[in-house]
Structure 1
């Protein structure tokens, strides 16, 4: 723990910046200060941090003010939400969160050595991996480790990457943008493809495969415009010399999209695993012979240098098959 916190200190200042040796700085840090800055980094607002830790906002303010005094550096600024982290505060909060996660893992490993596989696995997912891949791996793991706890989060890619770096997530099962970052490691699990889905008795499911021009005449539900799937969709039509259809509804809600497909002639874009069953879409049909964009690799990623517990290792082994 001191080594990890020392690294966190070194990231935002030199040992000489406080006018005292590094160990003296570490000795003045308290667990309440560290939990306050790490939780504020996670939840973003003073109110949410207060509710999470069960402490009064004024008490949290004092903890962080005292931490700033120890660090000899501002870590927060006033905001309409009470407090917001400075750039140094964000870096320090992220690294402290990772250090606290490592400490928790160390306690779990002690129990592991006593013969009981326990603890928790915090997993970030995207829709494609949440449909079957991750649930199947969890079920396999529970058979060996029935006392294990699994927490699954579905969020934006950047948000999950931030949670991974700060120790709030152990793994993220996802496709990646612009390659795997240098501070992250990953194992390839398979590939995803983006397909067009509709209700099973949709007019487009009758007869021979239809042209893109015909597809363009139908209403569409799709992911937000900035996503890779949405960009691939636009490129597919543009490269065919067609104006890309506008998504009349942009959403990542599978439940909402499913209801719309079942009740209308809407078409929808979903990214799914290239193999296996997507149970979330089993009541719908995908248009044959049509894949939007290129397949993308699915990764199980984690922090570089991270040492998983037995339960976390077991989950990784099971998701690899």
Structure 2
């Protein structure tokens, strides 16, 4: 499903709020008083919600209204979105000292305004934002201007590189991404409650996660949920982390590292032992490795700077006395690493799990060395308050099941070689 189709299928934000209030108050009349609208407006909003989602969400009784089983499913996700919106508007207004007396700006916003702002902020301009949304540039400009007027805050500013979010605008854009994602997941939650698993899981993956772990987990999860959709996204760690925080990704699988922000957490998957890897007929293997200094006689392929594996490589080369600033090839591409290893005398450090097919085919080999510095943790990074759908939870469960299998196999192999 395209982004434009997803946006077109979102319900009205006022309808979501009216339904939430009706559930909370247990009475249409009281919900209307809180929302400062008529009773018929609340009733119509709930009716349109039920038409939109194709199910009954509220039961009407003589003493009031109460949610159906599906209504309870829907309101839990809706309330998460509305609370995020309330908190985000409070933060962005407080940062600039703007205030509107007793007005509640989050109740005056629309999804079209939020969509227009996020698209503009991410695309770097109104024209590019309009193209992303598939609507006219004047419409996007007007919606963003209305949003800023309601909040009383400038969210965008002109820079030498184009239009960019202000500091408060950047935080608000991240929050809005999560708000929109929560709203989109209402339909997924309701489908799952009715036995239909058609949602989407978006996974960011680096290195081992991209080449082996995530594809295996997706293959298993898709067998259990054949109608679900899966997106595997690569990129740098910073790009994937930003996507996770903004709601574009549901989890990121990578090597563990210090977290730069407190709104995400790492869920340990397993401890991975790395190995020095070379082509099967490498001259180093013919003569045998007598000391770490032998590793310094050959050129190396290293991961990008700043990655956990690169730090392990640097520590190893320092111990080996290698001049690792000279004659290096640096890449994060598994395909490039494989090609370079097969066509040269270069060495690198990889997880055995990353090159399992090449090891089995006899193309590459792992140098048998006990190197304590060549260890890393593989983790799933999640938003700290993430509420997964059943399909998302199943994907995470498969990741953990596969890594348990790997850990058991590693322990067995280690015991056999002892």
Per the TM superposition, whether the score is higher than 0.5 is yes
Greater strand fraction, Structure 1 or Structure 2: 1
Deviation at 1:242, TM superposition (A): 4.9
Stretches of structure 1 lacking an aligned partner (at least 5 in a row): none
Identify if the C-alpha distance between structure 1 residues 240 and 220 changes in structure 2 by more than 3 Å, giving closer, same or farther: closer
**Which among 382, 385, 389 is matched to residue 309 of structure 1?**
389
Stretches of structure 2 lacking an aligned partner (at least 5 in a row): 1-80, 402-418
Q: Which residue is equivalent to 1:209?
A: 289
Identify if the C-alpha distance between structure 1 residues 54 and 204 changes in structure 2 by more than 3 Å, giving closer, same or farther: same
Q: Which residue is equivalent to 1:68?
A: 148
What are the Cα deviations for residues 260-279 of structure 1, in whole angstroms up to 9, with x where unaligned?
22222122233x26xx5645
Q: Which residue is equivalent to 1:178?
A: 258
Is the contact made by 1:236 and 1:292 (CA closer than 8 Å) also made in structure 2?
no
Does 2:210 match 1:133?
Answer: no
Identify if the C-alpha distance between structure 1 residues 320 and 78 changes in structure 2 by more than 3 Å, giving closer, same or farther: same
Taking structure 1 as the reference length, the TM-score comes to 0.88
**Cα distance in 2 between the residues matched to 1:281 and 1:74:** 55
**Cα distance in 2 between the residues matched to 1:280 and 1:239:** 30
SS in 2 for 1:17: coil
Identify if the C-alpha distance between structure 1 residues 255 and 230 changes in structure 2 by more than 3 Å, giving closer, same or farther: same
Q: Which residue is equivalent to 1:269?
A: 349
What are the Cα deviations for residues 197-216 of structure 1, in whole angstroms up to 9, with x where unaligned?
22211111214224332322
Paired residues in the alignment total 317
User: What does residue range 108-187 of structure 1 map to in structure 2 within 5 Å?
Assistant: 108-178=188-258, 181-187=261-267
Is the contact made by 1:188 and 1:299 (CA closer than 8 Å) also made in structure 2?
yes
Q: Report which structure shows greater RCO (CA 8 Å, sep ≥6).
A: 1
SS in 1 for 2:262: coil
Deviation at 1:243, TM superposition (A): 3.8
Identify if the C-alpha distance between structure 1 residues 200 and 157 changes in structure 2 by more than 3 Å, giving closer, same or farther: same
SS in 2 for 1:139: helix
SS in 2 for 1:131: helix
SS in 2 for 1:257: helix
What are the Cα deviations for residues 107-126 of structure 1, in whole angstroms up to 9, with x where unaligned?
21011111111200010111
Answer with 57-66 or 153-162: which moved more.
Answer: 57-66
Q: Which residue is equivalent to 1:29?
A: 109
Greater helix fraction, Structure 1 or Structure 2: 2
Answer with 191-200 or 110-119: which moved more.
Answer: 191-200
Deviation at 1:62, TM superposition (A): 2.8
**Which among 6, 19, 23 is matched to residue 100 of structure 2?**
19
Is the contact made by 2:298 and 2:347 (CA closer than 8 Å) also made in structure 1?
yes
Q: CA RMSD for the aligned pairs?
A: 2.5
Identify if the C-alpha distance between structure 1 residues 8 and 281 changes in structure 2 by more than 3 Å, giving closer, same or farther: farther
Does 2:169 match 1:86?
Answer: no
**Cα distance in 2 between the residues matched to 1:82 and 1:279:** 46
SS in 2 for 1:34: helix
Answer with 208-217 or 198-207: which moved more.
Answer: 208-217
Is the contact made by 1:105 and 1:308 (CA closer than 8 Å) also made in structure 2?
no
**Cα distance in 1 between the residues matched to 2:205 and 2:120:** 23
Identify if the C-alpha distance between structure 1 residues 263 and 292 changes in structure 2 by more than 3 Å, giving closer, same or farther: farther
Identify if the C-alpha distance between structure 1 residues 288 and 56 changes in structure 2 by more than 3 Å, giving closer, same or farther: farther
Taking structure 2 as the reference length, the TM-score comes to 0.69
Identify if the C-alpha distance between structure 1 residues 247 and 31 changes in structure 2 by more than 3 Å, giving closer, same or farther: farther
